[in-house]
Chains A and B, each alone.
Chain A
Amino acid sequence: MDGINTRKLVFEPQKANDFKGKVDPDWCAGCGDFGVLNSLRKTCLDLGLKPHEILTVSGIGCSSNFPGFFNSYGMHTLHGRALAVATGAKMANHELNVFVTGGDGDGYGIGGNHFTHTARRNVDLTYIVMDNEIYGLTTGQLSPTSSLNMKTKSSPHGSVEFPFNPITSAIMNGATFVARGFSSDTKHLSMLMKQAIQHKGFSLISIFSPCITFNHDNDVAFFKPRIKKLEDGHHDTGDWKSACEKAMLWGDTIYTGLFHHVKDRPALHEAEPILEKGGGISSRSLGLNDEQANRIINRMM
């Protein structure tokens, strides 16, 4: 048996489903990631993006299978390394729209170092994290965002570690667009994604995307009554202190929305003089001209 039973990709999407990848998701029925995928498809359609102008990069984990389910160029890279790969790709061809998709373990755990530095570098990419507060693909262990006292296969007596806060971390590390979403509210998600993609610089959307199989503490029923959208109240996205205070709340109220937005810092590719003109470096001609070669030799003499 050798039938390649995969979908033919659409060149010019006319509807959200035209952003479907070659295969359908292998996620559990009821997984929050479906809401994220559908939101991104709709957002790309709304923005008129073409699949070949997008590069979606992921690491490893349930949510990192994302590029295979989405109609764009994709790289399904190593665990934790998506942001570094995406940085290289963006800087070598800054004309691409670069999305990075993944989970909390991939991005905030093993990839934590890259998260810090990609944020401060302000690399122009849209980082979509599906945060389920658990390791799903490895069948349910602690993640960096698991709550205190949470019982998992690797913490049978309850976690004694304080969880990582992606929002405050991103703000502290200099990220210029920091938002939080909820996978069940796809309309709100699409609104955030649209702004994030249009933002020039590093944008994070950390999304509560409940794991239906391994995390029964933080399921849809947990989030629904608690979630309040910043957009429904008064929040100044230029006030990072207030953003951090609101992002720290983890009780009866948990905020989603755009916490922090800096509009006047150049993205890394805008700050690089060699990219001022001439298009992406990946499409420039290779090799040196006589003048360049002679200058190099003269300096050696």
Chain B
Amino acid sequence: MSSGQFDFSLAIGGAAGQGIATPGNILARMFTRRGLSVNAYNAYQSIVRGGHIFLTIRISNKPIYTHGDSLNMLVCLNQDTMDRHSGLMKSGDCIIFDNDKITPGKMAKGVQLCSLPIKELSNKSRNKVIQNTIALGVITHLVGLEFDVLENSLKLQFGRKGDLVIMENSAAALAGHQFSQENFKAYSEPLPTGPKPLALWTGNEAMAMGGAAAGVKFYSAYPMSPATGVLHWMANNARELGIMVRQAEDEIAVANMVIGAAHVGARAMCATSGGGFALMTETIGSAAMMEIPAVFINVQRAGPSTGVPTKTEQGDLWQVLGASQGDFERLIVAPTDALDSFNIIPELFNLCDQHQCPGIVISDLLIAEGTSSADPDDLNFKPEIDRGEIITDDEPNGEYLRYKVTDSGISPRALPGLAGHVHVVATDEHDQDGVLISDEYTNPHKRRRMVEKRARKIANIADKIKAPALEGATNAEVTLIGWGSTYGVIKEAIEQLAEKGVKANHLPIRWIVPFHSTQVIEIVESAKRTILIENNYSGQFYRYLRSETGLSIDGHIRKYDGEPFMPHHIVDAVLEQLAGKTNHSVPVQEIMV
């Protein structure tokens, strides 16, 4: 816990099926209801039972952007967790475990061992996950949460399961709480209280809510980690919000259903990960050709191929840039955190509707499945909605041209169902009236005119979108550049660097297409030294940056082991690069084996 800021992290480790999610959720909500910031990351595996699951929950009275660098409390639900992680614990930290089943591992001096006689405390309950509730009782005592707060949370969590379940859990929690009071030493630093209760969400939920706020009426998906959270939120809220949710047979169907729904006028969206996105790509090109606005989300996981389904990476940038054959108009944006994921969806829908083109969101597992707190007052569920130019004229003259050549390149849409504006849209090249010209020998001038018409739509779109800007100190010794989900970890790394006397600032990139080359060139050229940070091996964003700007970057920090950056990874790498040791750092993920 650093000075002035309450900063506490706890981790729960066990096998899949041991029920880590429920106590994790109960804990996180107790803290956010108290007004504390929470950031949680669950390192999990693509299995339903077994393996190793490790949930880290960080709590603070200040805004936090990552799951942090170190742990203060470790809850071991199995021996494996003890063996892998006990060595990470420092003096003053504590380890909670079931002494009937688990023996303590190696650890530093001064670590408080909180061994629990689970069998005795559980009153010989047959409930296999009752040890988790007992642990909750212990954790709340150790961090300084009153028991009635936990009891209320248990009621909220298990309310639907009936009184018996609530009573059993309350009794187990109380047993744990009292045992801890009698046997263990609570943390001396009191648990602060924030000014108001905070909300809790994942990035996937944020994107789904952003869609709902934007007026999405059609959502389709094929389940794929780590994007399935969007589908779950949409499915749960569909009836209440009047959203048509369809689970399709594959991602090709998903994308094409979206196109069909969007063409008749619904705001339509879908989300997947890289493998599913690969199947959607031809359709994205067809949306551009038919000039149908729709939003496609790619939540990246580590690839290629099936890759590492439950791990994070920023490895799909070129896939997204190259999605679909041909030269065409589309927008690509990489949100930086959950709140940005929420806000970007309505903004992107407006731009897509105005310019009649597909929009792509490139997120990743870290922010999409990561859990964080949000200030409910920051959530604008009534964003501006601009559908672009849509004809509603009911006195048509029969001269409607769907792809009318205009100065802006934008041709007003008429939606199917409107009398007198009947037309055909085609994935083949077509003329202003939609009639195919694709391979007529006499039509090269028409083809050129249509290519240029579509291109004009987004020629100056960068001017309508907020350009990237430097954050932090001017005149910094080093400028750290990142895109998308590295926003938070770079921000915290810069704070830590300042404590070490290194003045660094931050150039975060959100918009990939359009790319604000002029502004980025100006910032990078005036920086003393630049380091580009990416969660991939080959420096995908670096290649894109060079292709758009011709710029060179002084140093690189890359991580491609499946786990996200932690702030100290970046701090250590920046320090070694400033010391002249290297210009290419690959931080090592600390896991005890």
Q: Give the residues from 34 to 80 in chain A that come closer than 8 angstroms, CB to CB, to chain B.
A: 50-53, 55-57, 60, 65, 67-68, 71-78
Tell me, yes or no, whether B537 is within 8 Å of chain A by CB.
no
A234 within 8 A of B: no
Binds A, one of B58-66, B209-217, B542-550, B585-593: B209-217
Within 8 A of B (CB), among A252-301: 272-275, 278, 280-284, 286-288, 292-293, 295-297, 300-301
Q: Are A296 and B423 neighbours in the complex by a CB distance under 8 Å?
A: no
Contact B260 A92 (CB under 8 A): yes
Stretch from B178-186, B243-251, B484-492, B509-517 at the A interface: B243-251
Is B33 at the interface (CB under 8 A from chain A)? Answer: yes
**Pairwise interchain contact B398-A77, C-beta atoms closer than 8 A:** no
Whether the pair A301, B268 counts as a contact (CB closer than 8 A) is no
Return B374 CB to nearest CB of chain A, in Å: 7
B416 in contact with A287 (CB, 8 Å): no
Assuming the contacts A1-B442, A281-B244, asked whether A81 and B256 have C-beta atoms less than 8 A apart, the reply is yes
Stretch at the interface among B165-173, B431-439, B464-472, B528-536: B431-439
Is A246 among interface residues, defined by CB-CB distance under 8 A? no
Give A48 to B209 CA distance when docked, in angstroms: 43
Which residues in window 243-283 of B have CB below 8 A to A? 243-244, 246, 248-250, 252-253, 256-268, 282-283
B243 to A274, Cβ gap below 8 A? Answer: yes
Q: Bound state CA distance, A192 and B248, in angstroms?
A: 29
* B436:A65 contact, CB within 8 angstroms: yes
B314 close to A (CB within 8 Å): no
Q: Does A158 contact B (CB under 8 A)?
A: no
Residue on A with the closest CB to B415? A282
Q: Kindly state the separation between the CA atoms of A186 and B383 in the bound complex, as whole angstroms.
A: 54
Known contacts A6-B433, A22-B435, A95-B417; is A282 also within 8 Å of B261 by CB? yes
Let me know if A21 and B419 touch, CB within 8 A. Answer: no
Residues of B near A96 (CB, < 8 A) are: 264, 416-417
Output the least CB separation between B103 and chain A (Å): 40
Decide: B237 and A293 in contact? CB cutoff 8 A.
Answer: no
Given contacts A117-B248, A281-B217, contact A76 B424 (CB under 8 A): yes
- A92 and B382 contact, Cβ closer than 8 Å, known pairs A74-B425, A81-B256, A113-B250: no
Contact status B238-A274, CB under 8 Å: yes
Q: A76 to B198, alpha carbons, bound, how many Å?
A: 49
A88 touches B260 (CB 8 A): yes
- Measured between C-beta atoms, what is the minimum distance from A108 to chain B in Å? 15
Interface residue B445 (Cβ < 8 Å from any Cβ of A): yes
CA distance A149 to B245 in the complex (A): 45
Do A89 and B263 have beta carbons less than 8 Å apart? yes
| B197 in contact (CB, < 8 A) | yes
List chain B residues, Cβ under 8 A from A21. 424
Question: Chain B: interface residue count, which band?
Answer: 35 or more
Contact pick for A292, options B218, B241, B379, CB 8 Å? B241
* A16 / chain B contacts, CB cutoff of 8 Å: none
A139 to chain B, nearest CB (A): 14
B240: Cβ under 8 A from any A Cβ: yes
Which residue of the partner chain, among A274, A282, A300, contacts B239 with CB atoms under 8 Å?
A274
The answer to whether the Cβ of B86 comes within 8 Å of any Cβ in the partner chain is: no
Cross-chain contact of A91 among B218, B286, B374 (Cβ < 8 A): B218
With A22-B433, A68-B435 known as contacts, the answer to whether A78 contacts B282 (CB < 8 A) is: yes
Residues of A within 8 A of B50 (CB): none
**Cα distance, A81 to B279, chains bound together (Å):** 12
B242 interfacial contact with A, CB 8 Å: yes
User: Which of the residues A9, A65, A282 comes within 8 Å of B266, measured between beta carbons?
Assistant: A282
Decide if B419 touches A92 in the complex (CB within 8 Å): no
B200 CB-CB contact with A under 8 Å = yes
Interface: B201 (CB within 8 A): yes
Q: Within 8 Å CB of A2, what residues of B?
A: 445-446
Distance of A90 Cα from B240 Cα, bound (Å): 21
Whether the pair B422, A93 counts as a contact (CB closer than 8 A) is no
Is B112 an interface position by the 8 A CB rule? no
B427 touching A52, Cβ below 8 Å? no
CA distance A72 to B376 in the complex (A): 47
Question: Is B327 an interface residue, CB under 8 A from the partner?
Answer: no
Whether a CB of chain A sits under 8 angstroms from the CB of B159 is no
Residue A157 lies at the interface, judged by CB distance under 8 Å to chain B: no
- Is B246 touching A87 in the complex (CB atoms < 8 A)? yes
- Contact partners of B421 in chain A: CB under 8 A: 52
**Alpha-carbon distance A89/B214, docked complex (angstroms):** 19
Set B385, B396, B433: member contacting A287, Cβ < 8 A: B385
Return the CB mask of B201-225 against A: 1 if under 8 Å, else 0: 1000100010011110110100000
**Quick check: A286 and B259 within 8 Å, CB to CB?**
no
Question: Which chain A residues lie closer than 8 Å to B433 at the CB level?
Answer: 4, 6, 22
Which residue of the partner chain B has the closest CB to A56? Answer: B424
Residue of A nearest to B256 (CB): A84
Interface status of A114 (Cβ within 8 A of chain B): yes
A72 to B218, CA, bound (A): 24
CA distance A4 to B403 in the complex (A): 13
Residue from A1, A75, A85, A286 in contact with B214 in the complex, judged by beta carbons closer than 8 Å: A286
Q: Which residues of B contact A172 (CB under 8 A)?
A: none
A-B complex: 8 closest residue pairs judged by Cβ atoms: A286-B215, A88-B260, A74-B424, A88-B257, A84-B256, A293-B381, A92-B261, A300-B199
A-B contact pairs, 13 of them (CB 8 A): A6-B433, A75-B290, A87-B260, A92-B244, A93-B266, A282-B415, A286-B387, A288-B213, A288-B381, A295-B240, A296-B237, A297-B379, A301-B199
